[in-house]
Amino acid sequence: MNTHNTPHPAPITLITGGSRGLGRSAALHLASHGHDVILSYRSRADEAASAVAEIEALGRRAVALQLDTGRSDSFADFAATVQTALAQTWERERFDHLINNAGMGVHAGLMDTTEDQFDELFRVHLKGVFFLSQRLLPLLREGGRILNISSGLTRFALPGYAAYAAMKGAVEVLSRYMAKELGPRGIAVNVLAPGAIETDFGGGVVRDNAGVNGFIAAQTALGRVGLPDDIGGAITALLGDGSGWINGQRIEASGGMFL
């Protein structure tokens, strides 16, 4: 029997917050490069269904599952739902890549940040990433990949993002520990840190405020603000066949901000 012509199954990538913004861009970019996708959405089922339709239009399979990454008490049920989706849609028991992308921004100075804002950032950006990964690891294949999304704000400081950046900084440390502990399973864990991107994140200020947009472009070596496709391309590259030896690293995709 000639096994050289046996087709490899398409990689299945699970993206939290994959129905909008950077997550959606990444999902579509990955689909255009041969990935099937499981995406989570918090509340907008219509946006999730539209993302699934776009992925299917690219010839790939996709499933959208509801998840609030700030509610760790829902993660066991979510993992069971993922397991069912894998069996029903792909007749498989494992997926290949996990992208911890879901999040939201809070812009408030040190003196104005409330405990409720801080706690919500903690639940979504740190506790959620830790315990969702823990729940999903039994479903991630040996030799798979995890990509945690951070921010350029862990390297440079802009007033108003202290709490948000602190959570992302913690995720970067966590990622190195994950890489170390999951090494025996052949699972590589990295961080992708986007710079400022034109999306609806944080109320769309980078996209819609010409002054902010111009300031960032002037501070970026490549002379413009990032676009969602810039990040989708970086994510696809980091999950590609040639990037398996990259492990425990923080990769910034910012066009060279504040160099």
Q: Where are the alpha helices (DSSP H) in 41-146?
A: 45-57, 75-85, 115-122, 128-136
Q: What is the percent of the chain with per-residue pLDDT over 90, rounded to a whole number? A: 85
The pTM score is: 0.94
Stretch 35-58: mean pLDDT: 96
List Cα–Cα distances, 145 to 43, 79, 93, 205, 245, in angstroms. 27, 17, 16, 32, 11
Q: Convert the pLDDT of each residue in 14-32 to its tens digit.
A: 999 999 889 999 999 999 9
List Cα–Cα distances, 61 to 77, 89, 167, 235, in angstroms. 22, 8, 33, 19
| Active site (catalytic) residues | 164
Contact 182, 216 (CB under 8 A): no
pLDDT band at 203 (very low <50, low <70, confident <90, very high): low
For residue 234, pLDDT over 90 is answered with yes
When the pLDDT of each residue in the chain is averaged and rounded to a whole number, the result is 93
Give me the domains of the chain, ranges plus CATH numbers. 9-197+227-253 (3.40.50.720)
Nearest alpha carbon to residue 142 among 84, 182, 176: 182
Comparing 216 with 139, the larger pLDDT belongs to 139
Contact 167, 122 (CB under 8 A): yes
Tokens of 152: 């350029």
pLDDT band at 57 (very low <50, low <70, confident <90, very high): very high
